[in-house]
Amino acid sequence: MKETGFALVESKLVYKGNIISLYVDKIRSPEGKIMEREVVKHVDAVGIVALNDKGGIVLVSQYRHPINADLLEIPAGLLADSEDPAACAVRELKEETGYAAVRIEKLAEFYTSAGFTDERFFLYFSSDIEEGEPEREPGEEDMQVVIIPLKDAVEMVSRGEVKDAKTLTAILMAAQKVGRIEL
């Protein structure tokens, strides 16, 4: 990795939880300035754009406590200890929607909000899926599967109706993959 010129001077663990840990760090800039940074360390996350044989994208609607609202999202979840991200994508799709992905490929890997958290998101794609029964985990009972044509999902993005960042990215990347962007 390229030398950034920044150095960690002090790191204080404020909270260690199940999914996140919070640190308050002091760093030194290349100019010698000391700055404080609040850092949330977060387990990596994985999601999948799954298209059925009619070109419908498989989404789930679920309650998200931090925003106190239901949110329409691609199937996604947290990486279990030492789990392969691709295996996690297949598992989450099956658990949440019942669909089994026969073949998958990686679309992207990105940081969700690098100003304050190290959370990484691995995004996968499959257009080869087979219907089945969901295997929901405790706390996921309220989840609803929503399948809409990818074309309609792209229009929802244009109208500002997709409120989840990874899902917005996923819909546009899937559209770029199965179609093309004309500039």
- 101: which residues sit within 8 A by CB, 6+ positions away? 48, 50, 89, 90, 93, 94, 124, 126, 128, 129
Q: Among residues 103 and 116, whose Cβ is nearest to its own copies?
A: 116
Single out the catalytic residue among 3, 109, 140, 155.
140
> Whose CA is closest to 51, among 179, 183, 138?
179
Q: Among residues 71 and 100, whose Cβ is nearest to its own copies?
A: 71
| Least distance CB 162 / its own copies (angstroms) | 7
CA angle 103, 127, 46 (to 5 degrees): 70
Neighbours of 166 (CB within 10 A): 19
- 36: which residues sit within 8 A by CB, 6+ positions away? 24, 25, 26
Q: Among residues 100 and 136, whose Cβ is nearest to its own copies?
A: 136
Check if 140 is active-site: yes
Residues that are catalytic: 140
